Structure 1
Amino acid sequence: MSTGRVWFAMVSLDSKLYAIGGLTDKSYDTNTVESYDPQTNQWKPMKPLSTTREGMGAAVLNDTIYVCGGYDVNTAKRHNDCEYMTPNSSDDSNDSQWHFTTPMSMVREYYQLVAHGGYLYAIGGYIGNLTDTQTVERYNPLTRQWQPRANLNHKIRAFAAISYMDKIYVCGKTCETYDPIENKWTPIASLNERRLDLQLVNYHDQLYAIGGQGIATDLFEVYNHTSNQWLYSTQSVPYNVYGFGAIVLDK
């Protein structure tokens, strides 16, 4: 990337990566956005966010990138607002504009925004005053309205979440799954290594936990559905990383 970032957001759309906002290597938050094309192996600047953010959530729904919440260290302001952008098919960054939509019901930072079943889910996070939340709300892109959904079983922040199979998986200090039909969260086995600021990815239909703050977080863990266990994988990273982005791109 052209800008060093931590606690930024990364999404994929049309086989490209988008790195969004975050805390830069110069210790200030940024609103810059850049896209990576694996075909050319190059990063390209995109239209910046309207609002400077770190620790925000981002997800892709209906070919549109949504970015919500976060924190601006430059102004010490927490956000509940949401903006969205649909990248132009011509790949002209000047044609891709950010627009605001209905804000979430509360400020959230170091939370997760997940697209699942045609909706966006804002899950958990830090809401200020030394307080984490277990609340969840769902955004309907047709009505542009947020509605409360079932709470998590535990308050959580600096975790990972992913739409996997027919559920949403959440992992950090605890792990649980959400069934949107039953509107219910169910605890599953915890990771072997307690991790904060980790990533969950779906690779070859297997769920991997990667990186994070912890003791042995250079080791990957893979979830076994049959035994409800997290098992150590043969894959690893050469050093502990956290506050990063990880995406599996379709070839």
Structure 2
Amino acid sequence: MRRWALAVAVLAVAWAAQAAAEGKWVKLAPFPDPSEEVYGAAAGGKLYVFGGLAPGWRPKGLVYEYDPATDTWTRKKPMPLASHHVAFAELNGKIYAFGGFVLPPSGPPAWVPIDNAWEYDPATDTWKALAPMPTRRGSPVAAVVGGKIYVIGGAGLHPGSTETAVHPARPHRALATVEEYDPATNTWRPRSPMPTARNHAAVGAVNGKIYVIGGRIGSAFVSTSSPTDLVEEYDPATDQWGALKARMPTPRSAVAWGVYGGRIYVAGGEVQNDQFLAAFRAFEAYDPATNRWISLPRMPVPRHGLAGAVVGRRLHLVSGDVQSAGAGGNTMVHTDAHDAFEFDR
């Protein structure tokens, strides 16, 4: 019994030492406009935060720039179409936005999937409309490989449906759709669908492969979906999806993520059931080279619907909600927290 207890203690100390060796949390300038459903991207050594969602599912269309050199935020021109659950990706200093949801033109609040695509130039603070996506969807993810942008998954309507919007009480579906956008020609083409249809996932590109992590299965809403821990690998060079990878230790959705040093870091997320409405503090990293996960020091503030992006040696995590939303009578609590994990390696 004593040997077993000693072994457990040794393992715990070893894990703590490994986690601490990865880096540390630092607190930075708070976000000026706390909100849920914000999204991050990095360009030109600065962090950009987009989106935001107000009560009644009203998209805010926020755009803020954070300068690490001065630890300050600057408000920029708003998104040309205020929308939420948009996918963002950076390529050659430009930031691209794909899909999302908007409010219906009339009637009760719901999520109308859109096909809009935009290019944002941080240098000039201007937006340009691009060729629309072939598929209307919200809550996809986007990743860059070889000068192309891959927009994966999301949620939308059933084929032939008479529904016009996504709602927890109305039929809709998670999507496996994969579409490739070429900024050089402003054109789209379909690619092989993802094996597991999902939305609210994380994504990262490492060594020419794309990894889709976690998310929601079955529905766009946390109250009517199932969180997943699945990790699937896509090779754009062959347009093939590989075998399942090591599962994420904590099944979750509505996370933030970033890629650094060949690893994909996943932070936060939410869970909801009859017992609790919660946000995660979990901070975990996937290494495609070893197909292994490691757990890292927990986030200072648990939250979901937060923005994340890597600038330099830091993964920035910005704003979000500190409890799960999506149930009637819920109180949504936004935080202005801006924490960054500073990598040691």
TM-score by length of 1: 0.89
1:194, CA displacement in angstroms?
0.6
Per the TM alignment, residue 26 of structure 1 is displaced from its structure 2 partner at its CA by: 8.4
Displacement, 1:31?
1.5
The alignment yields a C-alpha RMSD, in angstroms, of 2.0
Q: Does 1:40 align with 2:96?
A: no
Q: Deviations over 1:67-107 (max 9, x none)?
A: 1111124744321111112122xxxxxx4221101000111
The residue number in structure 2 matching 1:221 is 284
Q: Which residue of 1 aligns with 2:235?
A: 179
Post-superposition CA distance 1:145-189 (Å, at most 9, x none):
110011111101111111122211110121111111111112212
Contact 2:280 2:304 in 1 (8 A): no
Alignment of 1:1-251 (within 5 A): 1-24=31-54, 28-73=58-103, 75=105, 76=110, 77-88=112-123, 95-128=124-157, 129-172=171-214, 173=228, 174-186=230-242, 187-214=244-271, 217-225=280-288, 228-233=291-296, 235-250=297-312
CA contact (8 A) 1:56 1:108 kept: no
**Distance 1:19-1:227 versus aligned 2 partners, 3 A rule:** closer
What is the match of residue 91 of structure 1? none
Structure 1 37/130 Cα, relative in aligned 2: closer, same or farther at 3 Å?
same
The separation in 1 between residues aligned to 2:104 and 2:70, in whole angstroms, is 34
Structure having the larger proportion of residues in helix = 2
**Whole-angstrom distance in 2 between the partners of 1:222 and 1:246:** 14
Shift of 1:60: 1.1
Between the two proteins, the alignment pairs up a number of residues equal to 244
SS at match of 2:295: strand
SS in 2 for 1:29: strand
221-230 or 149-158: bigger deviation: 221-230
Change (3 A) 1:225 1:57: closer
Deviation at 1:239, TM superposition (A): 4.2
Which amino acid letter does the alignment assign opposite residue 197 of structure 2?
A: K
Higher Cα radius of gyration: 2
Kept in 2, the 8 Å contact 1:193–1:217? The answer is no
The 1:114–1:106 alpha-carbon spacing in structure 2 relative to 1, beyond 3 Å, is same
Question: Which piece of structure 1 moves more, 97-106 or 206-215?
Answer: 206-215
Query: What is the match of residue 92 of structure 1?
Result: none
Change (3 A) 1:175 1:202: same
Letter in 2 for 1:208: Y
Q: Identify if the C-alpha distance between structure 1 residues 43 and 74 changes in structure 2 by more than 3 Å, giving closer, same or farther.
A: farther
Query: What TM-score comes out, normalization by structure 2 length?
Result: 0.66
Bigger proportion of residues as strand? 1
State the identity %.
28
Question: Tell me, which stretches of 5 or more residues in structure 2 are unaligned?
Answer: 1-30, 158-170, 215-227, 272-277, 314-345
Q: How many Å separate the matches in 1 of 2:265 and 2:34?
A: 25
Maintained 8 Å contact 2:279/2:304: no
Cα 1:189–1:106 change in 2 (3 A) is: same
Q: State the 1:199 CA deviation.
A: 2.6
Residues 5 and 25, structure 1, Cα contact 8 Å, conserved in 2:
no
